């Protein structure tokens, strides 16, 4: 089996792997900041509610 034959067999799988890796990387670049932002907002909301409860 020649090197070209091996490459021809592997190329679609490698391409699919790269697409998956790229998609996951992009998704985490987008989702992780959103998740952190939501956590921070939730923590701030809880603190505000706690402060309001204490002053009341």
Model pLDDT, residue 50: 86
Mention every residue, 6+ apart, whose C-beta is less than 8 A from residue 35: none
Q: Is the pTM of this model over 0.85?
A: no
Give the whole-number percent of the chain exceeding pLDDT 70.
Answer: 96
Q: Which 3-state string (H, E, C) describes 1-56?
A: CCHHHHHHHHHHHHHHHHHHHHHHHHHHHHHHHHHHHHHHHHHHHHHHHHHHHHHC
Model pLDDT, residue 1: 63
pLDDT in tens, 6-32: 878 788 888 899 999 999 999 999 999
């Amino acid at each position: 089996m020649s090197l070209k034959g091996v490459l021809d067999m592997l190329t679609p799988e490698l391409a699919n792997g790269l697409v998956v890796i790229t998609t996951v990387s992009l998704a985490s670049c987008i989702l992780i900041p959103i998740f952190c932002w939501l956590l921070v907002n939730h923590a701030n909301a809880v603190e505000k509610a706690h402060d309001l409860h204490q002053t009341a």
